[in-house]
Chains A and B, each alone.
Chain A
Amino acid sequence: MKRYSRELTVAIALSALLVWLAIFAPHFFQPQPLLARLTAQVPVLVLTIGMSVVIISRQIDISVGSQFGVCAVVAGLTSAAGAPLSLALIAATLTGTAMGALNGFLVAWLGLPSIVVSLATMVTWAEVLRLFQQGRFINLPAGVQWFGFSQFVGQASLLFFALGLLGAMAYFLKNRTGGRHFYAVGSDSEAARLAGINPKGVTMLSFVLMGTLTGLAAFCNMVQSPQVDPKCGVGLEMKAIAAAVVGGIAVTGGRGGLWGAFFGLLLLATINPALTYMHIDAYWEKAIQGLVILLAVIADGLRTKRSAA
Chain B
Amino acid sequence: MKRSQFIPALLALPFTLLMSCEKSSAPVGADHPKAAKKLTIAFLPKSKGNSYFIACEKGAREAVQELGAELLFDGPTNTDPAKQNEIVENWMTLGVDVIAVACENREGIAGPLKRAQEKGIKIVTFDSDTTPDARSFFVNQATPQGIGEALMDEAARLCAEEGEFAIITATLTAANMNEWRKFIEARLAERYPKMKLIDTKPCDDQKDKAQAETTNLISANPNLKCIMAICSPAVPGAAEAVKQAGKAGIVKVVGLGLPSENKAYLKDGVTQSVILWRVADLGYLTIQAAYAVGTGALEVGSKSIHAGKLGEIQIDGTSIILGKPFVFTKDNVDQFDF
Determine if A231 is an interface residue (Cβ-Cβ < 8 Å): yes
Chain A, range 23-51, C-beta contacts under 8 Å to B: 25, 27-28, 30, 32-33, 36-37, 40
A36 to B245, CA, bound (A): 9
A134 touches B50 (CB 8 A): yes
Query: Nearest Cβ in chain A — how far from B226, in angstroms?
Result: 16
A277 to B212, CA, bound (A): 13
Report which residue of A37, A229, A272, A273 has the largest number of chain B beta carbons within 10 angstroms of its beta carbon: A229
Chain B residues closer than 8 Å to A28, beta-carbon distance: 219-220
A277 touches B206 (CB 8 A): no
Chain B, range 170-220, C-beta contacts under 8 Å to A: 172, 198-202, 204-208, 211-213, 215-220
Determine if A304 is an interface residue (Cβ-Cβ < 8 Å): no
Query: Nearest Cβ in chain A — how far from B23, in angstroms?
Result: 46
A33 touches B218 (CB 8 A): yes
Chain B, range 210-263, C-beta contacts under 8 Å to A: 211-213, 215-220, 222, 233, 236-237, 240-241, 244-246, 260-261
Chain A, range 116-131, C-beta contacts under 8 Å to B: 131
B215 touches A36 (CB 8 A): yes
Determine if A226 is an interface residue (Cβ-Cβ < 8 Å): yes
B219 touches A32 (CB 8 A): yes
Determine if A151 is an interface residue (Cβ-Cβ < 8 Å): yes
Per-residue interface assignment for chain A, residues 101 to 126, with 1 indicating a CB less than 8 Å from any chain B CB and 0 otherwise: 00000000000000000000000000
Query: Nearest Cβ in chain B — how far from A290, in angstroms?
Result: 15
Determine if B313 is an interface residue (Cβ-Cβ < 8 Å): no
B207 touches A33 (CB 8 A): no
Chain B residues closer than 8 Å to A192, beta-carbon distance: none
Query: Nearest Cβ in chain A — how far from B50, in angstroms?
Result: 6
**In the complex, which of the residues A32, A37, A232 contacts B206, with contact meaning CB atoms closer than 8 Å?**
A232
Determine if A282 is an interface residue (Cβ-Cβ < 8 Å): yes
A116 to B24, CA, bound (A): 66
Determine if A137 is an interface residue (Cβ-Cβ < 8 Å): yes
Chain A residues closer than 8 Å to B55, beta-carbon distance: none
Determine if B78 is an interface residue (Cβ-Cβ < 8 Å): yes
A27 to B218, CA, bound (A): 10
B207 touches A232 (CB 8 A): yes
A40 touches B212 (CB 8 A): yes
A32 to B204, CA, bound (A): 24
Query: Nearest Cβ in chain B — how far from A180, in angstroms?
Result: 35
A212 to B236, CA, bound (A): 28
Chain A, range 185-240, C-beta contacts under 8 Å to B: 221, 225-227, 229, 231-232, 234-235
Query: Nearest Cβ in chain A — how far from B241, in angstroms?
Result: 7
Chain A: CB-nearest residue to B219: A33
Chain A residues closer than 8 Å to B199, beta-carbon distance: 276, 279, 282
Chain B residues closer than 8 Å to A30, beta-carbon distance: 219
Known: A37-B212, A137-B261, A226-B264. A132 touches B220 (CB 8 A): no
Determine if B79 is an interface residue (Cβ-Cβ < 8 Å): yes
**In the complex, which of the residues A229, A235, A276 contacts B220, with contact meaning CB atoms closer than 8 Å?**
A276
> Total contacts A to B, CB within 8 angstroms?
97
Chain B residues closer than 8 Å to A273, beta-carbon distance: 212, 216, 220
Chain A residues closer than 8 Å to B272, beta-carbon distance: none
Determine if B47 is an interface residue (Cβ-Cβ < 8 Å): yes
A235 touches B204 (CB 8 A): yes
Per-residue interface assignment for chain A, residues 139 to 157, with 1 indicating a CB less than 8 Å from any chain B CB and 0 otherwise: 1000000000001000000
Chain A residues closer than 8 Å to B208, beta-carbon distance: 40, 221, 225, 229, 232
Chain A residues closer than 8 Å to B220, beta-carbon distance: 25, 27-28, 273, 276-277, 279
Chain A: CB-nearest residue to B245: A32
A134 touches B215 (CB 8 A): no
Chain A residues closer than 8 Å to B240, beta-carbon distance: 225-226
Chain A, range 221-277, C-beta contacts under 8 Å to B: 221, 225-227, 229, 231-232, 234-235, 272-273, 276-277
Query: Nearest Cβ in chain B — how far from A23, in angstroms?
Result: 15
Chain B residues closer than 8 Å to A151, beta-carbon distance: 244
A227 touches B207 (CB 8 A): yes
Query: Nearest Cβ in chain B — how far from A222, in angstroms?
Result: 11
Chain B residues closer than 8 Å to A40, beta-carbon distance: 208, 211-212, 215
A134 to B49, CA, bound (A): 10
Report which residue of B79, B217, B244, B246 has the largest number of chain A beta carbons within 10 angstroms of its beta carbon: B244
Chain A residues closer than 8 Å to B264, beta-carbon distance: 139, 226
Report which residue of B49, B78, B80, B208 has the largest number of chain A beta carbons within 10 angstroms of its beta carbon: B208
A250 to B121, CA, bound (A): 63
Chain B: CB-nearest residue to A275: B216
Known: A40-B212, A231-B233, A276-B213. A282 touches B207 (CB 8 A): no
A273 to B215, CA, bound (A): 9
B47 touches A137 (CB 8 A): no
Chain B residues closer than 8 Å to A272, beta-carbon distance: 212, 216
A227 touches B211 (CB 8 A): no
23 A–B contacts, CB within 8 A, in A order:
A27-B222, A30-B219, A32-B246, A37-B212, A131-B78, A131-B80, A132-B78, A134-B47, A134-B49, A136-B50, A137-B236, A139-B260, A226-B240, A226-B264, A229-B207, A232-B206, A234-B205, A234-B206, A272-B212, A276-B217, A277-B220, A279-B198, A282-B172
Q: Rank and list the top 7 A-B pairs by shortest CB-CB distance, nearest first.
A: A229-B207, A33-B219, A276-B216, A277-B220, A273-B216, A137-B261, A131-B78
* Residues in chain B within 8 A of chain A (CB atoms): 47, 49-51, 78-80, 172, 198-202, 204-208, 211-213, 215-220, 222, 233, 236-237, 240-241, 244-246, 260-261, 264
Other A-B pairs beyond A28-B220, A234-B206, 19, CB < 8 Å:
A27-B220, A32-B219, A33-B215, A33-B216, A36-B244, A36-B245, A37-B215, A134-B50, A134-B79, A139-B261, A151-B244, A225-B208, A226-B264, A234-B205, A273-B212, A273-B216, A273-B220, A276-B213, A282-B202
* Residues in chain A within 8 A of chain B (CB atoms): 25, 27-28, 30, 32-33, 36-37, 40, 131-132, 134, 136-137, 139, 151, 221, 225-227, 229, 231-232, 234-235, 272-273, 276-277, 279, 282-283
